[in-house]
Structure 1
Amino acid sequence: MKLPATEVALLEAASATDPRTVEQLAEETGEKPEAVTRAAFELADEGLVAVEERTEESYALTDEGETYLESGLPELRLYRAAVEAGAADDPVSMGRVIGASGLEGPEVDIALSNFARKGLGRIDSGELSAEGDADPDADAETAALAAVAAADDPDPEVADRLAERGLLDRSEVTERAVTLTDDGVTALMEGVETAETVGQLTPEMLTSGEWEDVEFAEYNVEADAEPVTGGRSHILRQTAEAVKDTLVGMGFEEMDGPHADADFWINDALFMPQDHPARTHWDRFTLDVDPMDDLPDDLVGRVEDAHRNGVGPDGEGYHSPWSREFAEEVALRGHTTSLSMRYLSGYQVGELEPPQRFFSVEKVYRNDTLDPTHLLEFFQIEGWVMADDLSVRDLMGTFEEFYSQFGITDIEFKPHYNPYTEPSFELFGTHPETGEIVEIGNSGIFRDEVLEPLGVECDVMAWGLALERLLMLMYGFEDIRDVHGTLCDLDLLRNVEVVH
């Protein structure tokens, strides 16, 4: 029997009793692992070897995981600070404990969200109580981080949870092992010769005539080829385009504007007080760039007056600090309502006469804690209608018409408070797989404090809807990270088509 050199070397290195991995065989034969893999499958087709595949999960610490392994998980640091402050006996002010813990920025949210989950204590009305019987030294997640750092196997369930927290990177490795079959042993005993074969015809062989004297390798045209996947539009992008088509079909025009904008357009024009928690570093991403000092002075003056004194004879305003320097700071927009403010004010495309309908489907950025329904950047479906005598019925009817285009007919409305709309409503839909009620957006009719400084003299109803939440309702995803980010399901992205 004559076989190519790689296949002969593989047969001679393989064992009938001891499975050898591709990596072991590659090292012994001096061949590349991919060449050994290819030869193994060729020999398997001939029945001379058996190839077994085994998939194993492996974990590695992320940068954040390494930091917490060294300094301690935020919730455990919070617990130790709480115990030291006496919270195991009586509730202690949460601010006092956070200050003593040394936690800063997003670590505070992480600590608070995991504190009660782990049974470390309770948080109630701004006070924190610590569970005296808790043992932070026996924390399972800390043990799993240490196991990964020591190249040991962590508890799979705990490791999955740490991967969801972004503290571990999870990957799958497929290991192939090769074993000689009885036919393979027989072939070796009878003798296997190396065939001097050529796998590719070259111009030089044609020119010299060498091609007439060589033996060409046989090609197995029925062998499985390496899968090749081409590029395609992401399912989220497909959904965004479907949303755009739907809104255009409903008579809306699309807005466009900067992702990084002055805080004036993002929040001040929206009648958001400058001391609102959402305008601190806890929620927004401020950029270290020159301020946007070319804002329209007359509009800035009217907006400042609305903040300080309110609008109309009964207006109150906020009676809180207001600074033009703060308004000129540049940040990544936390909502696309900054575009609405630019358009409604006439700054972007000139003065608009009612009736008007505008929308955008664009990215926004918020300093949120990552979880199954929250991301640091996501798509918002912004929209508004400018017309006389608008009512809540018009708002609800617009949503029912829009969502029905995507097969969603069980929209629920809940009264809500916004600084910029009155009345205001949150929108909810039922998750098709879990039955959970999922918040999918926020809406309302703009207050006079928003519209009068902009020079708008009619009603404007507006909304901000989450594109990712719409996708979850359409396809039953329980975790938005399945379609977005480093944990996404590639097979799903390659195969799912958006239909509406």
Structure 2
Amino acid sequence: MKLPRQQLAVLEAVSADEWTTVDALTAQVDEKPATVTGAAFALEEEGLAEVRETTEQDPSLTEEGETYVETGLPEVRLYEAALDRGADEDPVEMGAVIEAADLDGPLVDIALSNFARKGYGEIEGGKVTANPDADPDGDEEAAALAALAAGKPVDDEAVLESLVRRDLVELDERTARSVRLTDEGVTELMAGVEVREAVDRLTPQMLATGEWRDAEFAEYNVAADAATPNPGKVHVLRQAAERVKEVLVGMGFEEMEGPHVDADFWINDCLFMPQDHPARTHWDRFALETPAKIDELPNDLVERVERAHREGVGPDSNGYNSPWDVEFAKELALRGHTTSLSARYLSGEQVGDLEPPQRYFSVEKAYRNDTLDATHLLEFFQIEGWVMAEDLTVRDLMGTFTEFYSRFDITDLRFKPTYNPYTEPSFELFGRHPETNELIEIGNSGIFRPEMLDPLGVDADVMAWGLALERLLMLITGFEDIRDVHGTLTDLEFLRSVEVEY
């Protein structure tokens, strides 16, 4: 019997009595793992060997786990600080121990939750008591972290599971293969197996000399496992944005463009947002340090906007009667919403005066200093849009939403009245999540107030909205956490597999 050299090397290296891993064979025959695996599968097809596949989990430290290897587990640091302050004899104020252990933020909760669990002591009435018989040097979790950091295995599955629950260790699944000789393989080896020289590729030299006519070519195992290709693709948010643009253009809208960094005048003042509104403090906006202010603003428009803020518009409006400072209006910041584009276009500043009817939209980023959670990030895409026409009503606005979302097969919409400084009436828009069945807020909308439109020189009704692209995507694809598609915690498998259907 004749076999290619790699197959013969593997056949001679494996045993009929015990399983040999591909990793061990790789070292023995001095070939790449893929070559050894291919040879093993070829031998299996010939009936000379068996290949067994098992799923193994390889533990590795998370970033938090690596930090604790360097600094120590929070509960161990808390215990050692408690001992230093004599908590093994008398209870010590918890605050003093925490400060001595140099713990803050989430580390405090982590330390306190594991302190009693591991028998390091007790916490009662705001005081810490340390167990003098505890042995932090024998902490099994700390020892396991150190072992993993040194590349050593951890045999205690209970400890490993605890570290996984604490997000200090993550388990990476991999397929492990082992090979064993069959009876037929033993028989052929005893009878003698010779090397069959086979070529694995056709070369220009073989074509030129004619050697290819007498060459024996290696067979390709098209069923063998191969690495999963992950080619580049358009991000699912960009797919969604392009689909939204197509839908709105098809509904007769034109696209707006404008700066991401803009003057507070365009971002807020033109929207009849009072300058002492909480959302305009440094806690909620990203202000620029250099340059700090815009050079110029249209003087006539500034005067009209200031007058609307101070006095209102028309006989039924009193304005805010609150401070208004043009220097504050000139301050530059990342736009907190793309309605700044609407203000620029409606005022005629961007593309000249507009006469009704008009329809405009944008799908652009906005930036807010929000608390990060499943539905909020510091930056997000907003679907901005407005319609200028005569005698618009809320029913027109609701009908527009019904038509728009129906293009994405979203029909279960809910509307709830709300308050906005720049629209009246106003309402929030909700859609039902396809997986959780919960109603989630997907946008805000209303009819622009006269106090906003009159200074801009608009003598018609304008209905407007700001919709969240990411939350539209939630309703389309069913993902539940905005961080799956944005930022450092993205779900790569989700991004590789999901598509926005057209």
Flag whether TM exceeds 0.5 (same fold): yes
Distance 1:445 1:71 in 2: 58
The reply on whether 1:380 has 2:385 as its aligned counterpart is no
Unaligned runs of 5+ in 2: 79-92, 97-101, 114-122, 131-139, 149-153
Computing the radius of gyration over CA atoms, which structure comes out larger, 1 or 2? 2
Distance 2:296 2:239 in 1: 36
Aligned length: 450
Cα gap change, 1:133 to 1:159, in 2 (>3 Å):
farther
Quote the offset at 1:464 in angstroms.
0.8
Quote the offset at 1:221 in angstroms.
4.9
Aligned to 1:35: 35
Instruction: Report percent identity of matched pairs.
Output: 56
Distance 1:158 1:273 in 2: 51
Aligned to 2:344: 342
The SS at the match of 2:252 is coil
1:408 maps to which of 407, 410, 428: 410
Aligned to 1:238: 239
Quote the offset at 1:438 in angstroms.
0.9
Structure 2 counterparts to residues 28-427 of structure 1, below 5 A: 28-47=28-47, 48-56=49-57, 58-62=59-63, 66=67, 151=148, 159=164, 172-182=172-182, 183-208=184-209, 210-211=211-212, 214-221=215-222, 223=224, 227-228=228-229, 230-291=231-292, 293-298=294-299, 299-312=301-314, 314-317=317-320, 319-320=322-323, 322=325, 324=327, 327-331=330-334, 333-427=335-429
Cα gap change, 1:318 to 1:439, in 2 (>3 Å):
farther
* 1:262–1:291 contact (8 Å) kept in structure 2: no
The SS at the match of 1:453 is helix
Q: Which sits farther off after the overlay, 21-30 or 381-390?
A: 21-30
* 2:274–2:322 contact (8 Å) kept in structure 1: no
* 2:73–2:142 contact (8 Å) kept in structure 1: no
TM-score (norm 2): 0.74
1:218-254 C-alpha deviation (Å, 9 max, x unpaired): 3345556655465444443333233222222322211
* 2:287–2:331 contact (8 Å) kept in structure 1: no
Distance 2:125 2:46 in 1: 67
* 1:309–1:319 contact (8 Å) kept in structure 2: no
Aligned to 1:2: 2
Q: Which sits farther off after the overlay, 187-196 or 220-229?
A: 220-229
* 1:411–1:429 contact (8 Å) kept in structure 2: yes
Distance 2:260 2:125 in 1: 48
The SS at the match of 2:330 is helix
Unaligned runs of 5+ in 1: 78-82, 87-100, 119-129, 138-142, 163-167
Cα gap change, 1:25 to 1:449, in 2 (>3 Å):
farther
- What amino acid is the match of 2:478? G
Cα gap change, 1:174 to 1:357, in 2 (>3 Å):
same
RMSD value, Cα: 4.3
Distance 1:190 1:341 in 2: 88
1:312-356 C-alpha deviation (Å, 9 max, x unpaired): 56423262464525633242x332112111111111111111221
- What amino acid is the match of 1:315? N
1:265-309 C-alpha deviation (Å, 9 max, x unpaired): 223322334444434454444455424524423133443444455
Quote the offset at 1:52 in angstroms.
0.7
